[in-house]
Amino acid sequence: MRIGSRLYRAALALSLCLPLAAQAAEIAKKDEPTPLSAYELYRIYGDRTWTWDTGGGRFIEDGRRFVAWVNDKGKQSFAEGKWVVDDLGQLCMRATWTNAEGAARASTCFGHRKIGNTIYQRRQPNGNWYVFRHSSVHQDDEFRKLVAADTVSDKAHDLKQLLLDQELARKGG
């Protein structure tokens, strides 16, 4: 066999294999989790309230303000701060939480990845991944707890005013 025909066969085999390899890589890429973009996260959370069993957090688009209120076994707290998103699929709530005993800053972040149209979420840095939104939304998806109605801002404002009034009364004002 001559060198020319060997090179021809090798080139032919390579040209037939490359499209198959590219297709296999594309299929593998579809099954690989990819981070949601900041824009995707902004569209999911912006001007929504994430309702929790004990209250909720409001993601206000204007100024990226974050307001939350909770009532955990009769102990009320409110938070005021900011929410931020990035192109690594991360949403963070950076706020000062206040209750009758005082105030403290906290930062809570969640990671988001998608495979196809299914979105996964976990609390950062070490939470377990779970389905946040199935490709066809299920009744029990966490995503469904994001609602348009603002169910927390008034409660947070009222608690803030109550705590301020109590502080003034303690100081004799």
What is the per-residue pLDDT for 167?
A: 80
Instruction: Give the domain range for residue 160.
Output: 34-172
- Structural domain includes residue 163: yes
Tell me the one-letter amino acid at 166.
Answer: Q
- Structural domain includes residue 65: yes
Mean pLDDT of 145-167: 94
- Structural domain includes residue 3: no
- Structural domain includes residue 132: yes
The proportion of the chain whose per-residue pLDDT surpasses 90, expressed as a percent, equals 76
- Structural domain includes residue 155: yes
pLDDT classification of 154: cutoffs 50, 70, 90: very high
Pairing of strands 130-133, 48-52: unpaired
Could you tell me which residue, 1 or 158, shows the higher pLDDT?
Answer: 158
Tell me the one-letter amino acid at 109.
Answer: C
- Structural domain includes residue 6: no
Rounded to whole angstroms, the Cα distance separating 33 from 151 reads 33
What is the per-residue pLDDT for 162?
A: 92
Rounded to whole angstroms, the Cα distance separating 169 from 80 reads 23
87 to each of 10, 31, 40, 111, 114, how far by Cα in Å?
A: 43, 19, 9, 11, 13
* Buried-state track 44-74, b at ≥16 Cβ within 10 A, e below 16: bbeebbbbeeebbbbbbeeebebbbbbeeee
Work out how many domains the chain is built from and give that number.
1
Give the pLDDT confidence of 10-61 residue by residue, as tens digits: 554 545 555 555 554 454 456 789 999 999 999 999 999 999 999 999 999 9
- Structural domain includes residue 14: no
pLDDT(105) > 70: yes
- Please give the model's pTM, rounded to 2 decimal places: 0.80
- Structural domain includes residue 23: no
Rounded to whole angstroms, the Cα distance separating 110 from 22 reads 33
